[in-house]
Structure 1
């Protein structure tokens, strides 16, 4: 959809220009994650998406959709829509004509480096106009800026939450973090609201992990962040089956399909096989032991993927003490794989499966559930490295702008040459999250190396 860039805003933005005080010359605004009340798993947000916003919206779309088009056309498109939607007649357009004549967006953006963990309430970005005739522009861009930036920063923070959990358990149960890059795999593309949201969210996931099935996310990093998959890994995955493949062979041929995949289709390397099309515990308790010599004889790893049930019980069993379960369901997948294929006990005393076999679970995983699964595995003496999580839209699509309270608020104006610090502090805001900073802000690291800020500058 090619919405004119002049209309990429809320309707009320169109009328703000004439509402500001006469002789307004500059509006300075601050983007801040104001609260984690709805996302208490993190005390910070990961800064991401700013370069994408600048390149895609402020440069490409404004150049192609405004500055490089005939002025008469872009003004007529704007007038037509506003006249019949907002009821203005005549429609004010002199400010847009002047902007077209200027030939560029006169704005300045200052931001924290992308990838920075910014504490809640610390500003991540400021925007202001650099030409007094276009004081209205920085506020006008608020809608697209928030619309574009809250998701990548929020998804990057969710991914960082998974990373912190996985690193913590990896250090506890293996003594290092080798392999964590691949322990959370993005399965979210089909469950996100659009191609673009899945791409942006998937790109955010890649700040913390290399494993992902969201192909466009890797392309995003090449297009907007100068990544190059030929020079360094951006995104990685492995061959994997889906239920249609398994069902095409039929239930009676499932064991032979495993053999076919392992010997004919993928005689070496990693391959993931969804294993619950019919009877998951029969696969685990009967088919895999029958194929033990084939699996252990391959140069590679078979990854078992359950896709239904209660994740923590499927992986860890319904009996939580190691060696006490009698049936596969009571033992859980990881203990069953240990019983069949063995492995090693590492220096910290935790069991690590034979490298020819592994597990991934990608249905209904959340931060809380991942934590619980790793706790239960550790309690049974298993290292966290024995499982990979598939992270889907339940983690990434369930968040909103309010999860971290992202807001862009004006905190300073210049009127007739005089700078004035401004702020909002609603008395009805009992939680205090809607109070804005006052004046220009300075973000810096204190003596302890922590990011903080001070406001009130003019």
Structure 2
């Protein structure tokens, strides 16, 4: 696709609409509100900028600059002339093609840090006076691609906070498990491959468990990931269980354990009757499970996750399987150990995972209920799917890229928006911006001078077709993990 189509239709006339003599347009990308974010998501993770800018650079290289000018500009002239019902002038596009690079400077906060609401995370400004229109021409594609990796990473970090909080209370000797306790199950429910990739990379900036395989390639390409990136285990689906027939479900379990005599094996267990699997089949398979060199993981896949995992009874010792719940039933059958903090940890040969309709609220309730019944929160893995990651929009954190400064005939104009009919969310910064760290927190200072704008925490990552200050995946993960761990250790 012609790179010049990567924008909103109304952008095609904006180069004619700026004041005569416009030389510079300066815009920033900012999360404006967490009104629609999950409870507890009070900040935004800085992640995805390097991916998005490299993708954009590569796309223009392959689909605009590397193609003959007469071909790409003739194509866009024909399309936009029909689209707008006029004889569309493409001379400004021809000038961009002659330049052979995107004339922009992009500055970003470091990836792998948390940013308060209303703090600019990215700025874009044109570097060629005649091509002032390029800044906000790119607003649409930048907005399209930036909001999701940041949103998914931010929500994933909320999950990790939940898991770490409860692990510190119930199983602090097993904190390494937390990296795998939130597992990405979202790919099939996302809005296309690019959505799955950008969201999945956001998840993988926080967790090491993922079934979204494109993440591996994406993180290697855009974040120089080497060696182990994300991992998963051998696991069944309902077609496997159904193919083995309902009458011989126990036989399917036996065959699976023979097929995988070692390692972690996850078996979906509610194809027909979860409680029958737990109360009849597993007792018959107990010796085989305990003799196996690995962990058999029971996976319920329907119902209320909190009640299924923890039981409907609030205390240990319920009368029915529904009262008892999966974790307590596994404990009653296979036992385990009592850790130093006094919480029950299942025998290492058995475990549980739940991956349907999980939310941060349900994750919190599951950990709370397990704690209240005397079980470590680390007895269960939660699959985080599209019910979490696709139920978001650009408005989840109110992301927007807005121009706040222009230069017209050599004179800088500080501009801003502040709609009288709005509740204040849409009010933008004014003029050039600078972000500083004050008392360990990011703070916005707007209406600064060009000299001051060159200072602060926003650093150049791309300028005139060249990348600088690249960051890799291990650095991002280290920053985010150390932040959460230290924060929780200070509060618990």
Assess same fold via TM > 0.5: yes
1:178 Cα deviation from its structure 2 partner: 2.0
Alignment correspondent of 1:439 = 431
Picking from 364, 375, 380, the partner of 2:357 is: 364
Alignment correspondent of 1:224 = 222
1:53 Cα deviation from its structure 2 partner: 1.3
Provide the rounded CA distance (Å) in 1 between the counterparts of 2:322 and 2:17. Answer: 67
CA deviation vs aligned residue, 1:140-187 (integer Å, no higher than 9, x gap): 100000001011111111111111111111111112522001101111
CA deviation vs aligned residue, 1:387-433 (integer Å, no higher than 9, x gap): 0001110000000001100000101111111112111111111x200
CA deviation vs aligned residue, 1:206-244 (integer Å, no higher than 9, x gap): 01111111101111101111112xx3x211000001111
1:120 aligns with 2:111: no
CA deviation vs aligned residue, 1:244-268 (integer Å, no higher than 9, x gap): 1111111121112212211x20111
Provide the rounded CA distance (Å) in 2 between the counterparts of 1:13 and 1:366. Answer: 38
Which secondary structure does the structure 2 equivalent of 1:21 belong to? coil
Provide the rounded CA distance (Å) in 1 between the counterparts of 2:108 and 2:191. Answer: 28
Counterparts of residues 202-241 of structure 1 (less than 5 Å): 202-228=200-226, 231=227, 233-241=228-236
Counterparts of residues 389-428 of structure 1 (less than 5 Å): 389-428=382-421
Which secondary structure does the structure 1 equivalent of 2:234 belong to? coil
Alignment correspondent of 1:317 = 311
Q: TM-score, normalised by structure 2?
A: 0.90
Provide the rounded CA distance (Å) in 2 between the counterparts of 1:45 and 1:450. Answer: 13
Provide the rounded CA distance (Å) in 1 between the counterparts of 2:256 and 2:64. Answer: 54
1:298 Cα deviation from its structure 2 partner: 1.1
1:308 aligns with 2:306: no
Picking from 124, 127, 134, the partner of 2:131 is: 134
Uncovered stretches (5+) of structure 2, i.e. residues with no partner: 450-492
Provide the rounded CA distance (Å) in 2 between the counterparts of 1:53 and 1:378. Answer: 41
Alignment correspondent of 1:9 = 7
Provide the rounded CA distance (Å) in 2 between the counterparts of 1:19 and 1:252. Answer: 72
Alignment correspondent of 1:47 = 46
Picking from 172, 179, 184, the partner of 2:182 is: 184
Alignment correspondent of 2:470 = none
Provide the rounded CA distance (Å) in 1 between the counterparts of 2:11 and 2:259. Answer: 58
CA deviation vs aligned residue, 1:85-119 (integer Å, no higher than 9, x gap): 11122x12111111111111110000011122111
Alignment correspondent of 1:270 = 264
Provide the rounded CA distance (Å) in 1 between the counterparts of 2:389 and 2:233. Answer: 22
1:334 Cα deviation from its structure 2 partner: 0.4
1:55 Cα deviation from its structure 2 partner: 1.2
Provide the rounded CA distance (Å) in 1 between the counterparts of 2:49 and 2:305. Answer: 36
Compute the RMSD of aligned alpha carbons: 0.9
Alignment correspondent of 2:444 = 453
Counterparts of residues 85-164 of structure 1 (less than 5 Å): 85-89=83-87, 91-164=88-161
1:64 Cα deviation from its structure 2 partner: 1.1
1:41 Cα deviation from its structure 2 partner: 2.7
1:56 aligns with 2:55: yes
Which secondary structure does the structure 2 equivalent of 1:113 belong to? coil
Structure 1 consecutive aligned stretches of length 4 or more whose deviation exceeds 4 Å: none
CA deviation vs aligned residue, 1:45-103 (integer Å, no higher than 9, x gap): 1111111111111x2111111111110001111111111111122x1211111111111
Provide the rounded CA distance (Å) in 2 between the counterparts of 1:67 and 1:218. Answer: 29
1:200 Cα deviation from its structure 2 partner: 1.2
Provide the rounded CA distance (Å) in 2 between the counterparts of 1:76 and 1:313. Answer: 62
Alignment correspondent of 2:63 = 65
Which secondary structure does the structure 2 equivalent of 1:16 belong to? helix
Provide the rounded CA distance (Å) in 2 between the counterparts of 1:53 and 1:202. Answer: 14
Alignment correspondent of 2:330 = 337
Alignment correspondent of 1:175 = 172
1:347 aligns with 2:345: no
1:330 Cα deviation from its structure 2 partner: 1.1
Alignment correspondent of 2:367 = 374
Provide the rounded CA distance (Å) in 1 between the counterparts of 2:129 and 2:176. Answer: 54
Alignment correspondent of 2:279 = 285
Alignment correspondent of 1:34 = 32
Provide the rounded CA distance (Å) in 1 between the counterparts of 2:10 and 2:172. Answer: 56
Uncovered stretches (5+) of structure 1, i.e. residues with no partner: none
Provide the rounded CA distance (Å) in 2 between the counterparts of 1:365 and 1:322. Answer: 24
1:454 Cα deviation from its structure 2 partner: 0.6
